[in-house]
């Protein structure tokens, strides 16, 4: 499984959205992406990629697209 | 030494900060004797190498020095990343590192407050955040914070220190509530007058004067605090969270 697939699967599974919704999904744009859902996503991503996100990046992880930029900072090729 | 099956922390991965002396050193030794795999935090590179190696051999476990300043975010992050890489789990975090700078109210500078809170409060909050990253997915873990009796009762001349330890108590209770649904326990120890580190600096005469105010008639030993930490870290305390455990020999303050 590629890193992009891992990332997409994590977002889709936790927020129960389809692939066609990924580009528009953002923090608090849907009911499931609340603070609890956000921390679930962060834990899932850290486990999937073997990284520890800084708190500033967790707070800044405001959308699917922004998340990609942040993950690249940690050497995750997407 | 107890057999491996009898040791209270057998196989648990524990990070303890501030283990170069005093209470932290006693914790490092007690945790190792109880079978924990200890990541022993200290600031000075190399200061624990020999002691950790010898302790690990003697206790038939691993004692791994990890050098960082708790106020250095990058250093702390690197310590947790190392544990993740080497163990993939963290069962116990003991936030022991702390500083105590006394000053009467009129002499409490902003710098003193900043320095005290940087070590005693902000670093503790950050370590809790990192530990939770391990423990939430594990659905288990124990965090033990070092508070102080002065954080509960206050003490003249310790405005900055007592405020910082009061903050540790509040953080402990809040973190316990937030992390309980994930199976993570968060407790604090509030030592009284312990014969270690900064308290030794006051001299034997003043120490005897203080000891006379303690119901049990003696200063606490670092091992008294370490034993309480072992209990809170162990499965014996499986249903104990959000508590502030006094280890003070019935001191009057």
Q: Which residues of A touch B81 (CB under 8 A)?
A: 52
- Which CA distances in Å does A25 have to A55, A64, B98, B158? 21, 6, 43, 50
- For residues A37-59, one letter each, b for 16 or more C-beta atoms within 10 angstroms of the residue's C-beta and e for the rest, the string is bbebbbbbbbebbebbbbeebbe
What pTM does this model have?
A: 0.91
pLDDT at B2: 64
First to last CA, chain A: 12
Q: Which residues of A touch B79 (CB under 8 A)?
A: none
CATH of the domain at A18: 1.10.1200.10
CATH of the domain at B103: 3.40.50.720
Beta strand B244-247 pairing with B184-191: parallel
**Closest CA relative to residue B22, chosen from B221, B247, B244, B230:** B221
Let me know if residue A42 belongs to a domain: yes
Q: Which residues of B touch A59 (CB under 8 A)?
A: none
Q: B236, exposed or middle or buried, with CB in 10 Å at 0-12, 13-18, 19+? A: exposed
pLDDT band of B5, cuts 50, 70, 90: low
Let me know if residue A40 belongs to a domain: yes
Specify the DSSP class assigned to residue B237.
Answer: G
Give residue-wise pLDDT tens across range B45-77: 999 999 999 999 999 999 999 999 999 999 999
Global ipTM: 0.76
Let me know if residue B253 belongs to a domain: no
Residue range of the domain that includes B195: 4-247
Give residue-wise pLDDT tens across range B165-211: 999 999 999 999 999 999 999 999 999 999 886 566 667 777 778 78
pLDDT at A37: 93
Let me know if residue B171 belongs to a domain: yes
In angstroms, the separation between the Cα of residue A52 and the nearest Cα of chain B is: 7
Active site residue B39: no
From B67, B130, B161, B239, the catalytic residue: B161
How many cross-chain Cβ pairs, A to B, lie less than 8 Å apart?
19
Q: Distance between CA atoms of B230 and B27, rounded to whole angstroms?
A: 8
How many domains are contained in chain B?
A: 1
Among all residues of chain A, which has the CA nearest to that of B131?
A52
Let me know if residue A78 belongs to a domain: no
Contact at CB, A52 and B77, closer than 8 angstroms: yes
pLDDT band of A22, cuts 50, 70, 90: very high
For residues B83 and B39, the answer to whether their CB atoms sit within 8 Å is yes
Contact at CB, B133 and A50, closer than 8 angstroms: no
Residue range of the domain that includes A51: 3-73
How many domains are contained in chain A?
A: 1
């Amino acid at each position: 499984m590629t890193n992009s697939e891992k990332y997409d699967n994590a977002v889709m599974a936790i927020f129960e959205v389809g692939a066609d919704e990924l580009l528009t999904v953002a923090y608090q744009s849907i009911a499931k992406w609340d603070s609890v859902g956000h921390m679930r996503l962060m834990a899932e991503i850290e486990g999937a990629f073997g990284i520890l996100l800084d708190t500033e990046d967790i707070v800044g992880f405001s959308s699917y697209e922004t998340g990609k930029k942040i993950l690249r900072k940690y050497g995750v090729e997407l | 030494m107890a057999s491996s099956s009898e040791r209270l922390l057998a196989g648990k991965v524990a990070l303890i900060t501030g283990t170069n002396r005093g209470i932290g050193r006693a914790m490092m030794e007690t945790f190792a004797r109880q079978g924990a795999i200890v990541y022993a935090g200290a600031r000075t590179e190399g200061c624990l190498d020999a002691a950790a190696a010898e302790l690990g051999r003697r206790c038939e476990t691993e004692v791994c020095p990890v050098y960082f300043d708790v106020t250095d975010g990058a250093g702390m992050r690197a310590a947790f990343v190392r544990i993740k890489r080497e163990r993939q789990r963290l069962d116990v975090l003991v936030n022991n590192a702390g500083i105590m700078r006394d000053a009467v109210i009129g002499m409490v500078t902003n710098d003193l407050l900043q320095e005290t809170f940087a070590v005693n409060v902000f670093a503790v909050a950050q370590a809790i955040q990192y530990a939770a990253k391990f423990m939430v997915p594990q659905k288990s873990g124990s965090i033990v914070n070092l508070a102080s009796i002065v954080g509960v009762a206050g003490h003249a001349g310790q405005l900055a220190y007592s405020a910082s330890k009061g903050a540790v108590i509040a953080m402990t209770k809040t973190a316990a509530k937030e992390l309980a649904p994930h199976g993570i326990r968060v407790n604090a120890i509030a030592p009284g007058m312990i014969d270690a580190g900064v308290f030794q600096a006051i001299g034997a005469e003043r120490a005897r004067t203080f000891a006379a105010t303690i119901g049990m008639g003696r200063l606490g030993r670092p091992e008294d605090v370490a034993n309480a930490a072992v209990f809170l870290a162990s499965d014996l305390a499986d249903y104990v969270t959000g508590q502030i455990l006094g280890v003070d020999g019935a001191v009057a303050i």
